[in-house]
Amino acid sequence: MAAPRKALPDIDPQRCTGCGWCIGVCPPHVLSLQTQTPTGFGPKRSTLHDAPGCTGCALCAVRCPFDAIQMVKIIKL
Ligand code: SF4
Ligand code: SF4
């Protein structure tokens, strides 16, 4: 079983350019480019579409050339 993850990526849509680098390096493929509006219009930004599938490896945050991803520690309740 995988070790429990310690952090999740927080993606800043203001900094994200939609370049897609983070999506390419994410091992479990839980990131995708999606529009940020319910209507589907507007620029696509990186989105964590499957948070439970994220391992917290931080490869996406390391790869992002625009510093748009911060790893945020998971606080256990
Ligand atoms: S690498 Fe950074 S700028 Fe590029 S899509 Fe991912 S979060 Fe956005
Ligand atoms: S932390 Fe790792 S598993 Fe989670 S979204 Fe980023 S690259 Fe993917």
Read off the pLDDT of residues 11-68 as tens digits, 9 standing for 90 and up.
999 999 999 999 999 999 999 999 989 898 999 999 999 999 999 999 999 999 999 9
Domain interval for residue 29 = 7-73
* 14 inside domain: yes
* 1 inside domain: no
* 35 inside domain: yes
* 2 inside domain: no
Residue 54 sits in a domain whose CATH number is 3.30.70.20
The structural domain count of the chain equals 1
* 59 inside domain: yes
Residue 25: its pLDDT value, please? 98
Model confidence pLDDT, tens digit, residues 8-26: 999 999 999 999 999 999 9
Residue 5: its pLDDT value, please? 86
Atom of ligand 1 nearest to the CA of 69: 7
- Alpha-helix residue ranges (DSSP H) falling in 1-77: 21-25, 59-63
> Of the ligands numbered here, which is closest to the C-alpha atom of 26?
2
Radius of gyration of the chain (CA): 13
* 69 inside domain: yes
Does the Cβ of 54 fall within 6 Å of ligand 2? yes
Expressed in angstroms and rounded, the spacing between residue 23 Cα and the centre of ligand 1 is 8
Expressed in angstroms and rounded, the spacing between residue 25 Cα and the centre of ligand 1 is 11
